[in-house]
């Protein structure tokens, strides 16, 4: 298990297509597919971050179904994947949980589709993950991306994934799979 990397999918604060701060809604696919991807690459935690009480209740209901409900016996692999899921009201709540769990500093890694100055390469971050004793939290945004305030809090900004043309709007689930393969995959 990659004891020093976790992931958080932020549904707030993110932008909509008009660059307004909004709270987006979870999808069932985000919960299941990201948990499965994170678990495949040995991550210890997957945080779903939203200030919405209704969204928090929905996450709890879905995870409980697969963790201790009928789904636990029906699909043990799904149960194992969802065992790393944690709901958080805010990024700060996720950071507090990680710091209390691992008793070490947490480096925040912000991601996005746009190029940003001083972005860290995948190769450089991969080497850092292999060599340091800090815990790292990889942040992904929904909607039209993470709010600028998140990038300002980040310890590291990861370079964007570049496709073959001008279109650059990967589904968050696909982007995470590519990132984790580049950062943690067998070479």
Residue 43: pLDDT above 90?
Answer: yes
- Is residue 54 within 8 A of residue 15, CB to CB? The reply is no
Which burial class, exposed, middle or buried, applies to 63 when counting CB atoms under 10 A from its CB (0-12, 13-18, 19+)?
Answer: buried
pLDDT at 2: 60
Digit-coded pLDDT (tens) for 73-103: 888 788 889 999 999 999 999 999 999 998 9
pLDDT of residue 74: 84
Number of domains composing the chain: 1
The CATH number of the domain where 67 resides is what? 3.40.1280.10
Position with higher pLDDT, 69 vs 131: 131
Beta strands 21-22 and 85-88, pairing class: unpaired
Q: What value does the mean pLDDT take over residues 56-78?
A: 85
Q: What rounded mean pLDDT belongs to the chain?
A: 93
- Domain containing 115 equals 5-184
% pLDDT > 90, the chain: 78
């Amino acid at each position: 298990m990659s004891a020093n990397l976790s992931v958080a999918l932020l549904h707030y604060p993110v932008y909509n297509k008009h660059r307004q701060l909004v709270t987006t809604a979870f999808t069932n696919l985000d919960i299941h597919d990201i948990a499965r991807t994170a678990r495949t690459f040995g991550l210890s935690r997957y945080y779903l971050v939203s200030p919405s009480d209704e969204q928090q209740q929905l996450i709890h209901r879905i995870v409980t179904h697969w963790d201790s409900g009928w789904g636990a016996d029906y699909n043990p692999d799904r149960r194992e994947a969802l065992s790393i899921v944690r709901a958080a009201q805010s990024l700060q709540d996720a950071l507090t949980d990680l710091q209390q769990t691992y008793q070490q500093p947490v480096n925040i890694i912000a991601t996005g589709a746009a190029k940003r100055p001083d972005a860290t390469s995948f190769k450089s971050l991969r080497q850092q993950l292999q060599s340091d004793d800090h815990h790292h939290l990889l942040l992904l945004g929904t909607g039209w991306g993470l709010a600028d305030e998140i990038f300002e809090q980040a310890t590291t900004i990861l370079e964007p994934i570049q496709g073959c043309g001008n279109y650059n709007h990967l589904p968050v689930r696909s982007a995470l799979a590519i990132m984790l393969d580049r950062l943690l995959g067998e070479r």
